[in-house]
Amino acid sequence: MRRRGRRRYNVVGRCSGGVPAVGALLVSAPRARFDVSRLRGTRLPPRLPRARGHGNFSDVPDLTDIASLRVAAREGRTRAVLPVVVDAVTEKSSKDGKPFLEIQLVDARDRFVLRVWSDNGQFTAAQELAVGACLKLEGEFAVHPQFGLEAKRWSFEALTGAAKEEFLAGPADLRARQDADYAFITAEVDKIKDPRLRELGLSFIEKFGPRFRRTAAARFFHHARRGGLVEHTAQMMRYADAICAANPALHRDLLVSGVLFHDCGKLWENCIEEGGFNMPFDERGELLGHINIGIELVNTLWKALPLEDWKTMQPDNEDVRLHLLHLIAAHHGELEFGSPVQPKTPEAIALHYIDNLDAKLEMLARGYESTATVAERIYEKVRPLNVRLVAPLATGA
């Protein structure tokens, strides 16, 4: 479908206050095996009822979430009530000039696109939806092999009162896991032996902890949810611990610090609004990108440390700073993937592969949950992996 025109609607009427001004840049055991539901944070619900006929929605089940509905709808058209937040409303036209809307809808775990054509009776009401509006969407849902989760014969109304407050708080199991992950990160930083790196990490957590806790690791493909960066960082630290145990020659303090700071620039690139699930675009993130922001942030925090207290330490202060900055700069691995340099130290190579491993396992978990099958135990291609997934070997009892 070729896009003829596009209009982005103004951001008004959020569920809660907008993103606070950022200002200047400075201002528990390891998981033993691959577990799809744990990686994605999705607890599968009881099977939702299949749609029957065109009647009203008096038999619609209780509220569900996008990720759980996506799983249920893979088996066939499914009726559901879905609480969502409007993340974007974009007007487009088909190649034959027919107008339609693409409405990005999000919740604590996932997102999907509601397409509204101009001949739909609710087109005008959908045009007027404000970004940040909280809705209760009722309808029949199915998974299209090309477009993913789709709504049919749907209606919406405002989500209000206690139901809205509970929805915006996020699922209890996801909150609990993210709280545990954040506590694990703090404990790992506190165990760093090098006082410069430990104080740098603790300073970051103290100054930017709340913003860190609501930042996503990406916009779409992995850990793309409020708190996703905390989940990604904690799991990477678990991998780092395991790799350092297997290869003691690696500088554990440096690698753990690299894990903490490798995506810290995403606090301005992928930060979720307080009290909601919207991820607005940020001018700083667009102009600089998270790698450059991360380097600037670490340099600023580093200058605030009492470096004179450690001027006789070996390796010297400047060596430590440069090696940490290299980890941030090189963690994408290749120039074409956005890194200004390729990894040139053991810790930089380890960080790159740890980051890539956790991101890809999250993509696999998402694919197994949400992608339609093309044959028994074979799934449609998953972006950006661009391969057909095959069901993993079942684990023993």
> Do both 178 and 162 map to the same domain?
no
> Do both 217 and 347 map to the same domain?
yes
Token pair in block for residue 287: 């102009």
> Do both 86 and 181 map to the same domain?
no
> Do both 149 and 276 map to the same domain?
no
> Do both 274 and 226 map to the same domain?
yes
- pLDDT of 27 higher than 80: no
> Do both 159 and 182 map to the same domain?
no
Percent of the chain at pLDDT > 70 equals 84
Overall average pLDDT of the 3-14 stretch: 38
- pLDDT of 58 higher than 50: no
Q: Which of 144, 166, 188 is the last residue of a domain?
A: 166
- Higher confidence at residue 62 or residue 25? 62
Percent of the chain at pLDDT > 90 equals 73
Q: Which of 132, 166, 200 is the last residue of a domain?
A: 166
> Do both 189 and 278 map to the same domain?
yes
Overall average pLDDT of the 120-145 stretch: 93
Q: What CA–CA distances, in Å, run from 16 to 12, 48, 128, 276, 332?
A: 10, 31, 18, 7, 35
Token pair in block for residue 170: 């996020």
Kindly give the interhelix angle for 252-261 and 195-213, rounded to the nearest 10 degrees: 20
Q: So what's the pLDDT on residue 10?
A: 35
Overall average pLDDT of the 71-97 stretch: 92
> Do both 205 and 346 map to the same domain?
yes
pLDDT band per the 50, 70, 90 thresholds, residue 181: very high
Residue 97 resides in a domain: yes
Rounded Cα distance, 33 and 31, in Å: 6
> Do both 149 and 242 map to the same domain?
no
Identity (one letter) of the amino acid at 298?
Answer: V
> Do both 221 and 292 map to the same domain?
yes
- pLDDT of 2 higher than 60: no
Overall average pLDDT of the 48-59 stretch: 40
Q: Which of 166, 188, 220 is the last residue of a domain?
A: 166
Q: So what's the pLDDT on residue 26?
A: 39
- φ, ψ (nearest 5 deg) of residue 10: -65, 150
Residue 371 resides in a domain: no
Overall average pLDDT of the 169-197 stretch: 97
Mean pLDDT, all residues of the chain: 86
- Domain region containing 279: 171-364
Q: So what's the pLDDT on residue 61?
A: 57
> Do both 157 and 194 map to the same domain?
no
- Higher confidence at residue 75 or residue 330? 330
Residue 118 resides in a domain: yes
The Cα diameter of the chain in Å comes to 78
Q: What pLDDT digit, counting tens, does each position of 90-119 carry?
A: 999 999 999 999 999 999 999 999 999 999
Listed in sequence order, the DSSP H helices in the chain are 36-40, 66-73, 123-127, 161-169, 172-190, 195-213, 228-246, 252-261, 266-269, 283-303, 317-330, 346-370
